[in-house]
Every structure is written in C-alpha cells, then in structure tokens.
Chains A and B, each alone.
Chain A
Amino acid sequence: MRYLPLTRADRASMLETIGAASVEELYHDVPDGALLDAPVDLPSHLGEMQVERDMMALAAKNTGASSVPSFLGAGAYRHHVPATVDYVIQRGEFLTAYTPYQPEIAQGTLQYLFEFQTQVASITGMDVANASMWDGATSCAEAVLMACRATRRKKAVLSGGVHPHYREVTETYCQFSDTEVAGRDGNPEQQATVEELDDLIDDQTACVVVQYPDVFGRVQDHTKLAEVCHAKGALLVVVFTEAVAFGAIKSPGSFGADIVCGEGQSIGNALSYGGPYVGLFATTQKLVRQMPGRLCGETVDQDGKRGFVLTLSTREQHIRREKATSNICTNAGLCSLAFTVHMSLLGEDGYRRLATLNHENACKAADALDAVDGVTVVNDSFFNEFTVKLSKPAADVLEVLVDKGVLGGVPLSRLYPNRSDLDNYLLVAVTETNTDEDIAALADALKEALA
C-alpha cells in the first residue's frame, strides 16, 4: 500500500523490540469475539489511477454549475476564484498543518488568521472578529447563544428575512438549552417593520436577528432597529449569506449592530455542494470575551520581535470544559485562508468593483426577467439576488429549465416546504460570472416554460 512505509522486515524487527509475537497481541484488551480476524466486507485497495477513474465516474453524473447558465444562490454563491487562491491553500505547510498549538513553528497560520480577523472586522464594520466558525448557519446559532450569555436572557427574536437553514440550526441549538426562538414567518411581498419586531421584544429578549441583505434579497436599513433593541436591553445580531455585498452596501457595523456573522464561502471558496464553508463572526470590543471560537492575537517573542498566538483561550472548551462559551474546537482554517488570499488579491478597489459588477449584472437580469410574461420581480431593493413571482409553481418550472440546460434559481418551496403560498416564487442570484448570454438564456427559457 503506497501510504504505508513499513516493510515486512521493519514489522518483524519492531515487534521484536516491543517483545510481542504479533500485532494482534497488541490488541489483547479487546473483548473476546470483538477482534476481527479478517477484513470487513468492502472492496480491496485500489491504485491511484483506479480511484481517480471511480471518482470521475461519479463526477460525470452531475451537472457542474459552471457548465450551464446558473443562477443559484440562497446562501451559496458562484464567484470566480483566482488561481492563486487554490495554489496557496495547497501548499503543504498550510494544508497539512494543524491548530497552531506551538506558535514558534506556526507563525504562518497565525499571521494569516490575524489578517483574516482584520479583513472580516473591516468588511462588517465591527471592532473584532474571530478566527472563523463552521459556516454561516452555525455562526447564527452561536451568535444567539452568545447574546443570551451576554444579556443573561433566554429568548431570541428572528426576523422572517433570516435564511430558513439559519433559523432551523438556531432552533436546533436552542431547543435543549431552554432558549426560546420567536419570530415571524418570511414573506417576500412584505417586509417586517421595526414596530412589528419591536412588539416581539420583551424583558427576556436577548437579541433580535435580522439578515442583511435578507433571504429574499432585500436590502434594509437596521439603524432604527438597533436603537429599539438597545433601548430594551437586547442586542442586534445581523447575519449575512453573501460576503461580497459589503463592497457595495453600508456595513452592518454602521447600523450599530452588536454581533455580525454569516457565510464567507463566496470569497475564495468553491461551492462544493454545500461544504466545507467558513463562518465569519465579528463583534464589538465590549463583547469580545463572550465570543465563541478561536482568536489570534498579537504579542512579542523573547527577542522582542512581533509575533502571533492564539489567545483568550480561557473561554474555550479545552480549558473551561462544561463552562466554555462553545464546544467548538476545530474551525474552518483552510477555508479562512482561501478567504484571506482572495480578499488580499481583491484589495479595496477589487472588492468594491466586484460588488458593483454583481449588482449591475443583477439589475440587468432583473430587467430582462421582468419583461417576460408571467414573471414579476418582487424586490424594490436587492444586491445580487432577488425574488420573482411566476405564473406557475417554481419547482415545476425549474425542472423544465433543467431540460433546457439552465439552472434557473432556487424555488422558495425548497426553502419553505410547508408554505404552499410561496410555491410560485423563485430566488434568482446573479454574479460577475453570469454573462449577457446566460441572462438571455434564462429569460428565453422562462418565456418558453411559462407560455
């Protein structure tokens, strides 16, 4: 086997040094009958060529999102990732390192984490960010738990504009810790007003969670909501699914948000059928010690030179055990590196231009689709994703589009399976990767499907 360097002679001489007759003898503590004496019923080893062939055969049964005009979003976005990103993350010193427990030989990882934290804090408009979470949805759940710790309250109000997966994960995390998750149903036709959310805030409310832009694509100012929350002793949590957006719209920090968290996939990371992605998590200086996850900080070494270490670990499970701020251990290291490299390439000009191009393409697509009979663009405002209402159920229309070689969007029925009132709605995402031909193909396909 190509990954196993021990020779037969090695094994024999090692057993002799150990003083054991066989490897089986080393397993003598295994209870009677539980030690297998033959391989389990699975195929035998394969050479690299055969493995590659098997995996290519599986890959060939899929339609790659870039192989056809594709308009899927709803929390995962197709963007162009520069070749440099994949080169850097495949360097073995990054790929095969682990959590920087020995900082003297992990300054590479620690310095990029410090740069990552600075980038995340910058785009969200917050004071500080952590070294990443698992994904946007778990970040949302952790933000709610953090708000409960910080306020010593046990209720979260989720706006109807929050992605259903984020809501479901938050409910899952809260259900066994006596934390109530309240909120409103999502409605693409009508946005919740500050007054409506205000009515749901009581003296047990730890936080209000809104998504910006929201799951239907709308862009809404939450400055007033922040004031309402703070007046009632609650925190404002702003979640997001598209990190490119902050190159074009005001940062959540500018609203007075207390925690800003969400999905970082769209910068540097492949779609990869939903994972691994990277959760971004930022907050204010005041709340930093309530944060979950790992944090990298600056310090000096014995010779007085600047260096970086993991810090404030007294919040974490390996020190605090059952009293930790979260059970998270490993985070999304390599995905945060991909984010950092892509963001470094973009820089101020690139990041803002990328966001502008996304928005302009989305405007173009919205106009093209709105001109199709049986299609109505619902949104007044949007960044690179918007909701359209169709004259037929969206899931059926999408299947027709698949036959025409177009991945037309995400039907709301997939996100809200129990909401028959949303059956005719389709979520359409448009990025810099979509060409004019793609947009025309989508409009034409919809025209035919709805005729």
Chain B
Amino acid sequence: MTFTTHTGNRGLVLEEKLIFEQGQAGRTGVDLPEPKGTKSRLGGLDRDSDVGLPGLSEPQVVRHFTRLSQKNFGIDSGFFPLGSCTMKHNPRINEKVARLPGLADLHPMQPESTVQGALELIDQCAHWLLVLTGMPAVAMSPAAGAQGELCGMMAIRAALDARGENRRRVLVPESAHGTNPATAAACGFTVDSIPATEDGRVDLAAFEAKLGDDVAGIMLTNPNTCGLFERDVRKIADLVHAAGGYFYCDGANFNAIVGRVRPADLGIDAMHINLHKTFSTPHGGGGPGSGPVVFSDALAPFAPIPYVVRTEDGFRLVETADENDGTKPFGRLKGFHGQMGMFIRALAYMKSHGSDGLRQASGDAVLNANYLLARLKDKLSVAYPGYCMHEALFDDGFLKDTGVSTLDLAKAIIDEGFHPMTMYFPLVVHGALLVEPTETETKESIDQFCDAVLSLVAKAQAGDAEFFKNAPYLTPRRRLDETAAARKPVLRWMPETA
C-alpha cells in the first residue's frame, strides 16, 4: 500500500531537518556557570558579532543524531562487503579500553615520567606489528594509510638523497589505489604505470623493461587490488633492488596474510598497515585511520620523529633528531605522536586474537572470499581465474546487453538489505565489482547475500532493466543527483534572506 503521510515520515523512517533549521535563541544543551564579567585581555579583539550557531536543548540533540544514525548502514547493521575497505566486526572491548581515564585522558605533552604506561603501550603495539611483518623497524605516527604511504615514500626520497642519487621515477601498477600515484607525486616523483597481465598480476617483462638508473622504486599492493597474491613478488623485489631502487608495499590488504606470510620474507623495504582495516579499529564514517609503517634496515634510519625507545630507566619519547645515534629522520608528519586511540584499540584486538587467532582470522577471510567466489562464479563474470585472497573481483560482462550497469545492480542490492560491494575499482577491470566478506561473517549471511545477488542477476538477464534503473526504492533517500551537486556546489547551510 502506497500513501503519503502528513509529516513526510514513514513509520521508523523519520525526516530530520538540519540543526540550523531547529534552533531557537535562548535554548542550550549545556549548563555553564555565569561569567563574572572580568575585564578582557584579548588584545582588543573581543568578538563583536554573532557566530551564527543554533540553540538546541540536550534532548533535541540526542534525538537529532539518533534519527541521523538511523539513516546510516554500518557493519553493526548488516553485511558490508565493501572490497578493499575490510569492513570487519569492530569489538566493543576496544572502545571500552580506549576510554580508560589512564589512557584517554593523557595530554600529549605530559612529562615522560607520567606517561610510562602510554609509551609502553605504543612499544607493545609496535612489537606486535614488527613480529607479524618480520621487519626490523616501525614508524607509528602516520595518521592514516595515505599518510603511511607518504611516510614510506619520503623515507625512500631521503635514502636516495643520502646516496646522492637523483632517481625520480616510481613504478606503479595501473590497478593501484589512487593514493599511490597521488603520494608519489607529493614526494616529487613522476609516476610510470606498469600494465597487468591477463591473470591480474604485474607484467614482469614490462616491469623489467621499465627499470633503469632513474627508478626510485616500485609501489606495489600485495595482495593486490584485484584480490590476488603477486606470485612474482620476490622476483620483483630482487629486480628493483638490483636496479638500485626500493620496494614500497601498500599494506592495505595485509589482513589476507597476517600470521601466515611475513612481508619481510618477500623482500619489501617499507609497508604501511591500515589499523582500521587489518586490526579492526572502527572506520567511523570515514576515519580516523592510523597507518604505521614498517621499514627494512636500509630505510629505518630515515624514519620520521617522534618514536619511542626503551632504556634502562624506562621508556623515552624521542622528539628531535639526534645526530649522534646514527639516525637521519626525514622530518615530522603529524602534530604530537600519532593516533594513540587507534593503537589502544588495535592492541586490544591483537591481544584478543593472539598469534593463533590472527592466523585463523586471515585464513577465514580468504576462505569466506573463495566461498563467495565459488557460489557466484558461474553466473557472474570472474575477472581473473583461480583462487582469490580475501576479496573476489568480477567484471560486468554478465550484465552485457541487459541495460543494467554495475551501479544499477549495487542500488538494487541496497534494497535487499546489504551494503554493496566496491564498484568500478580497480580501474583495470570493466565495471568492477570487488566483494570482501571478511572473516567475521557467517556462512549463512554470505549465502543469503549470494542468493540475493543471483536472483537479481537473473532478473537483470530476464530484461527488467527499468527496475534496476530506478533502484533503490526502500531507502530514506532514492538516487541522488550528484551532477547537480557538483555543478552548483552548496556546501553549507545559509540563513534565508528576506
């Protein structure tokens, strides 16, 4: 039965205005003491105009954000197989311990003697990352994966400068995440793209042909963005080293191999680890992330400040370069010392799993992805043959001549109650659908997703394109006009002018 309501609400789906449209002068959500009227010492710059903020009471604010939350899909809501983003369960114990006053309520500039537990925690988190990767050094401060990339590539620039070499070309596979070329460019490198083979890996011959004495290194994601392990990874490492370059590994997909393969055994020089992917710190609607970088002996001296060292008298935080200890930090990447709140959560996660559980988790992630691949491969078009790692990649060949696009299918999947897979990435596959179930999904939920996708594919192939073009039907908002949003950007609320 379709009908419109007076309010525009539809049962539990409630319309919610902006806070700016709800505010009333004289309302507030905080009770602060009355100021005493002290004469100000603001240099004569006392604010003399309104800020323009709305006044709301606490119950209004709670209701507002509760209603907004109900328009969101999270991992807690349901199956969220967003490929390359690793939407695994976020344990609540991690949230609880991150809020312990002895950890959350520490000022970053407290004297070392008052934060020994915090420094020990960073050191422990670093130790787990070092053992799991087999690498000799780690920089903990990068704020997110993309800053981890910056950290790794800056260390490479610094190492080349120290060698007095002007190598400026970085080889990047065309399947790479966009942050790779963007990062290389930000470090003053030029980007040279390496093609992929028919089976979705780096074309070794093309790669070798591109090597030369101007090559700074390679940025390679492994397992790669097609969800495949680069089987020639050691050869790639040997070749780039023989040519005088470095091997930056994008560790976005470390979750597939953690506890089973140590990146050190593959010949890498630097790799960032997304704590919000592999080690379950919450994605939070787009951050905060955290991107520690492990380094080989060749790059370790160039790691950024600050870093924690263990001494006989306890832990120390090194905040300035010391010319006497043999290090040559390339600089500082972030204010203070890194994403402490994320280290706490990641450490709680690693301790919960332990060495045995982490190995089980990566195995289950790969098993779940291959199971999903096996269930869908006959009806969808698999991008590359063989087993996958933690995510399964399809192209849009199965939608050929149906008039239905990858986007249309994704929107119909939304109506079925799932978050869609990653669409149109990696770019090397036409109309890509990248599906990553993660290890925290049940077989039942994967089966339900596969059954739903198969029924939609049958519907598409039966010629019902119109149904897909207009999906989703059941969401708080239907398809949004992104072209209009970009053509005339409205990026803030403005009061209506009379």
Is B147's CB under 8 angstroms from A103's CB? no
Q: What are the interface flags for A377-415 relative to B under an 8 Å C-beta threshold, 1 for contact and 0 otherwise?
A: 001111100000000000000110010000100100010
CA A291 to CA B76, docked complex, whole Å: 33
B251: min CB distance to chain A, Å? 14
Chain B residues near A177: list those with CB within 8 A: 186-188
CB distance from B378 to the nearest CB of A (A): 12
Q: B49: which A residues are within 8 A, CB to CB?
A: 254
The distance in angstroms between the C-alpha atoms of A334 and B345, with both chains bound, is 15
- Asked if residues A359 and B40 are in contact (CB atoms below 8 Å), the reply is yes
A326 to B147, alpha carbons, bound, how many Å? Answer: 11
Give the segment of A151-159, A335-343, A439-447 that binds chain B.
A335-343
Closest CB-CB distance, A293 to chain B, in whole Å? Answer: 10
Q: How far is the CA of A276 from the CA of B286 in the complex (A)?
A: 13
Given contacts A92-B76, A219-B42, A333-B287, contact A36 B335 (CB under 8 A): no
Closest to A56 in B: B100
Question: How many of chain B's residues have a CB under 8 angstroms from any CB in A?
Answer: 206
Report whether B117 and A4 are in contact in the complex, using a CB–CB cutoff of 8 Å: no
Instruction: Say whether B285 contacts A100, CB under 8 Å.
Output: yes
Whether, in the assembled complex, A119 has its beta carbon less than 8 Å from a beta carbon of chain B, the answer is yes
**A97-B74, A330-B276 given; A91·B493 CB < 8 A:** no
Contact of B91 among A3, A254, A308, A359 (CB under 8 A): A3
Please give, as numbers and ranges, the residues of chain A lying within 8 Å of B132 by CB-CB distance.
40, 42
Q: Among B188, B261, B364, B479, which residue has its beta carbon within 8 angstroms of that of A301?
A: B479
For chain B residues 258-277, which have a beta carbon within 8 Å of chain A? Answer: 259-262, 265-266, 276
Contact with A along B61-93 (1 / 0, CB 8 A): 110111011111111110010100101111101
Cβ of A348 and Cβ of B76 under 8 Å apart?
no
B82 pairs with A98, CB closer than 8 A: yes
* Residue B441 interfacial (CB < 8 Å): yes
Which residues 16-74 in A have Cβ within 8 Å of B in the complex?
A: 17-20, 23, 25-31, 33-36, 39-46, 48, 50-52, 54-67, 70, 72, 74
> Of A50, A54, A105, A418, which contacts B72 at CB under 8 A?
A105
**Alpha-carbon gap, A128 to B492, bound state (A):** 7
Q: A129-B492, A135-B335, A349-B26 are in contact. Are A327 and B286 (CB under 8 A)?
A: no
User: Which residues on A sit within 8 Å (CB–CB) of B361?
Assistant: 1, 3-4
Further 19 A-B residue pairs, CB within 8 A, beyond A250-B47, A356-B35 = A1-B357, A4-B440, A27-B257, A76-B336, A101-B423, A105-B419, A109-B72, A168-B332, A176-B157, A250-B46, A251-B51, A271-B105, A272-B104, A273-B118, A274-B335, A321-B178, A330-B145, A333-B283, A341-B65
Partner of A117, one of B29, B73, B339, B491: B491
- The segment from A6-14, A202-210, A224-232 that touches chain B is A6-14
Q: Is the CB of A91 within 8 A of B66?
A: yes
A328 at the interface (CB under 8 A from B): yes
Closest A-chain residue to B151, C-beta based? Answer: A172
What is the distance, in angstroms, from B351's C-beta to the closest C-beta of chain A?
Answer: 5
A87 proximity list for chain B (CB < 8 A): 62
Is A275 in contact with B339, judged by CB distance below 8 angstroms?
yes
B376 CB to closest chain A CB, in angstroms? Answer: 11
Q: Can you list 10 residue pairs at the A/B interface with Cβ under 8 Å?
A: A13-B443, A39-B358, A60-B117, A135-B335, A165-B334, A175-B331, A178-B188, A221-B45, A329-B178, A345-B30
Q: How far is the CA of A144 from the CA of B298 in the complex (A)?
A: 31
B12 within 8 A of A: no
Asked whether, in the complex, the Cβ of A26 is within 8 Å of the Cβ of B331, the reply is: no
Interface string of A277-305 (1 = CB under 8 A from B): 11000000000100000111111111101
A105 and B73: CB pair below 8 A?
Answer: yes
Q: Which residue of B lies closest to A218 (CB)?
A: B43
Which residues of B have CB within 8 Å of A14? 367-368, 370-371, 443
Q: Are A114 and B29 in contact, with the CB atoms below 8 A?
A: no
Q: Are A63 and B52 in contact (CB under 8 A)?
A: no
| Cα A43 to Cα B132 with chains together (Å) | 12
With both chains docked as a complex, state the minimum distance between the C-beta of A120 and any C-beta of chain B, in angstroms. Answer: 9
Name which of A182-190, A192-200, A241-249 contacts chain B.
Answer: A241-249
B451 at the interface (CB under 8 A from A): no
Residues of A within 8 A of B243 (CB): none
A450 interface residue per 8 A CB criterion: no
Q: Are A299 and B179 in contact (CB under 8 A)?
A: no
Are B178 and A20 in contact (CB-based, < 8 A)? no
Query: How far does the alpha carbon of A67 sit from the alpha carbon of B114 in the complex, in Å?
Result: 12
CB–CB B287/A330 < 8 A: yes
Knowing A72-B109, A78-B107, A380-B41, say if A93 contacts B352 (CB, 8 Å). Answer: no
Is A451's CB within 8 Å of the partner chain B?
no
Q: Is the CB of A172 within 8 A of B75?
A: no
B87-124 interface with A by 8 A CB criterion: 87-91, 93, 95-111, 113-118, 120-121, 124
Once the chains bind, are A347 and B351 in contact (CB under 8 Å)? no
Task: Tell which of B205-213, B394-402, B455-463, B481-489 binds the partner.
Answer: B481-489
Collect the chain A residues with CB atoms within 8 Å of residue B109's CB.
72, 74-76, 410, 414
A44 touches B414 (CB 8 A): no
Name the contact of B331 in the complex, choosing from A122, A131, A168, A414 (C-beta under 8 A).
Answer: A168
CB distance from A416 to the nearest CB of B (A): 10
Instruction: Assess whether B42 is in contact with A381, with CB atoms less than 8 Å apart.
Output: yes
Interface size on A, residues (CB 8 A): 212
**8 A Cβ contacts from A86-134 to B:** 86-109, 111-112, 114-115, 117-119, 121-123, 127-129, 131-132, 134
Q: Which residue of B lies closest to A278 (CB)?
A: B288
Contact A407 B282 (CB under 8 A): no
Residue contact B265 to A34, C-beta cutoff 8 Å: yes
* Residue numbers in B under 8 Å from A15 (CB-CB): 367
Residues of A within 8 A of B299 (CB): none
Who on chain B is nearest to A89 by CB? B284
Q: Top 8 nearest A-B pairs by Cβ distance?
A: A59-B102, A274-B336, A92-B76, A61-B117, A334-B284, A274-B108, A381-B43, A172-B331
List of A residues within 8 angstroms of B39 by Cβ: 363
Q: A108-B70, A288-B489, A344-B29 are in contact. Are A349 and B100 (CB under 8 A)?
A: no
Name B24-63 residues within 8 Å CB distance of A: 25-30, 32-33, 35-36, 38-56, 58, 61-62
Which residues from chain A contact B98 at a C-beta distance below 8 Å?
Answer: 272
B498 contacts the other chain (CB 8 A):
no
A417 contacts B157, C-beta separation under 8 Å: no
Q: Contacts A221-B45, A327-B182 given: A303-B72 contact, CB under 8 Å?
A: no
A150 interface residue, CB < 8 Å from B?
Answer: no
B320 on interface, CB distance cutoff 8 Å: yes
Minimum CB–CB distance from A6 to chain B (whole Å) comes to 5
When each residue 336-358 of chain B gets 1 if its CB lies under 8 Å from chain A and 0 otherwise, what string results?
A: 11111110100110111111111
Q: Are A84 and B107 in contact (CB under 8 A)?
A: no
B191 at the interface (CB under 8 A from A): yes
Any A CB within 8 A of the CB of B409: no
**Most B C-beta atoms less than 10 A away, residue of A42, A246, A302, A330:** A330
Interface positions, chain B 430-474, Cβ under 8 Å from A, are: 439-443, 470, 472
Contact between A34 and B262, CB atoms less than 8 A apart: yes
A138 within 8 A of B: yes
Please determine whether A108 and B68 come into contact, CB atoms closer than 8 angstroms: yes
List residues of chain B with CB within 8 A of the CB of A276.
143, 287-288, 290, 339-342
Measured CB to CB, the closest approach of chain B to A108, in angstroms, equals: 4
Interchain CB contact under 8 A, B107 and A1: no
- One digit per residue, 1 when the CB lies within 8 angstroms of any chain B CB and 0 when it does not, for chain A 354-366 equals 1111011001101
Say yes or no: A337 contacts B284, CB within 8 Å: yes
Instruction: Contact check, B336 vs A275: say whether CB atoms are below 8 A apart.
Output: yes
Q: Nearest chain-A residue to B331 (Cβ)? A: A172
Establish whether residues A95 and B76, one from each chain, have CB atoms under 8 Å apart when the complex forms: yes
Q: A76-B107, A221-B43 are in contact. Are A82 and B29 (CB under 8 A)?
A: yes
- Measured between alpha carbons, how far is A313 from B46 in the docked complex, in Å? 38
The answer to whether A263 and B51 touch (CB under 8 A), given A109-B285, A117-B492, A334-B287, is no
B414 contact from A61, A102, A178, Cβ within 8 A: A102
Select A270's contact among B19, B105, B443, beta carbons within 8 Å: B105
- Residues of chain B with a CB closer than 8 A to A88's CB: 62, 65-66, 69
